[in-house]
Amino acid sequence: MDINWYPGHMTSARRKMQEDIKLCDVVIELLDARIPGSSKNPDMDNLIGNKKRVIILNKADMADPAKTELWKKYYEAKGAYVLTMDSRVRKQTLKVTNAVKIVCKEKIERDRSRGIMNRPIKAMVAGIPNVGKSTFINSFVGKATAKTGNKPGVTRGNQWIRISKDINLLDTPGILWPKFEDEQIGTNLAFIGSINDNIIEMQQLAVEFIDYLKDNYCKVLSERYMIEDVDDSYQILEKIAENKNCVKKGGELDIDKACRSILDDFRSGKLGKISLETP
């Protein structure tokens, strides 16, 4: 499906990030563990330049663990420091702090040699919409002191948050990029809910999702939706509508409702651990 979604607010958010990144020592880039390739904004490389980077494969609790491991190795082989996370779990401050300290080792040592001690590392948290940036940041807030408030160069919406004496985090809005190089990237982003559903042909998306389940996780169809021996994806959708009792007033099947329902089931993890890409 040919999808592109780059609303105006993302252009201004990108511009703001370009400014803010100058204030940061490191970027914590959140990827969705179910699509660690498609959720990686290629434009981030331009934005980040030669700043240090930690990659978080977030929502790892919803992804296929064997595939997540492959992705971790894939990005590590490219020289990145990679963590896998379920950001809803609190008390992961140490894990993230350690990762940031490791990638910023040279800077910390340079500061120390100049007699600068205890200067917190400034880390920008970046990622596509819905990847879990707020959840990631909120998971630290229990331990954090108050927000450090607006600072020069940081405009409204971007907040500095002190998570420990060692690190301040900068929250940023989720951004995508102007044109997806491959149609599948847009489709994958739509599957996980990072593209506004209002611009998407939901029936086509649901059918493509069922195609993927048939080829890769056919047990989900039999175990979750009780579908056996049906090959055509649209017919599967009709069966799901029947089984879920998605019917309109006159008794006609409500296919749109079934589409939303199956995608919601996936997005909320009800279908189990599913990854949509392999490196």
Binding-site ranges for ligand G4P (CB under 6 A):
58-59, 61-62, 85-88, 127, 129-135, 174, 269
Is the Cβ of residue 62 or residue 240 nearer to ligand G4P in the bound state? 62
CA 277/CA 279 separation, integer angstroms:
7
Shortest distance (Å) from residue 262 CB to ligand G4P:
16
Between the alpha carbon of residue 65 and those of residues 33, 59, 84, 235, the distances in Å are 9, 11, 10, 31
Is the Cβ of residue 90 or residue 248 nearer to ligand G4P in the bound state? 90
Is the Cβ of residue 68 or residue 168 nearer to ligand G4P in the bound state? 68
Given a contact cutoff of 8 angstroms between Cβ atoms, the answer to whether 214 and 49 are in contact is no
Given a contact cutoff of 8 angstroms between Cβ atoms, the answer to whether 172 and 154 are in contact is no
Is the Cβ of residue 20 or residue 108 nearer to ligand G4P in the bound state? 20
Shortest distance (Å) from residue 141 CB to ligand G4P:
12
* Three-state SS at 53: strand
Helix and strand element counts for the chain (H, E): 11, 6
Positive or negative torsion for Cα 135, 138, 139, 140: positive
Q: Which residue is nearest to ligand G4P (CB)?
A: 132
Is the Cβ of residue 194 or residue 233 nearer to ligand G4P in the bound state? 194
CA 41/CA 94 separation, integer angstroms:
27
Shortest distance (Å) from residue 192 CB to ligand G4P:
9
Shortest distance (Å) from residue 2 CB to ligand G4P:
24
Is the Cβ of residue 40 or residue 133 nearer to ligand G4P in the bound state? 133
Shortest distance (Å) from residue 62 CB to ligand G4P:
5
Between the alpha carbon of residue 35 and those of residues 3, 14, 79, the distances in Å are 16, 22, 19
CA 248/CA 181 separation, integer angstroms:
39
CA 254/CA 241 separation, integer angstroms:
7
Is the Cβ of residue 83 or residue 253 nearer to ligand G4P in the bound state? 83
DSSP 147: B
Q: Which of 132, 126, 53, 124 is nearest to 87 (CA)?
A: 132
Shortest distance (Å) from residue 56 CB to ligand G4P:
9
Shortest distance (Å) from residue 138 CB to ligand G4P:
7
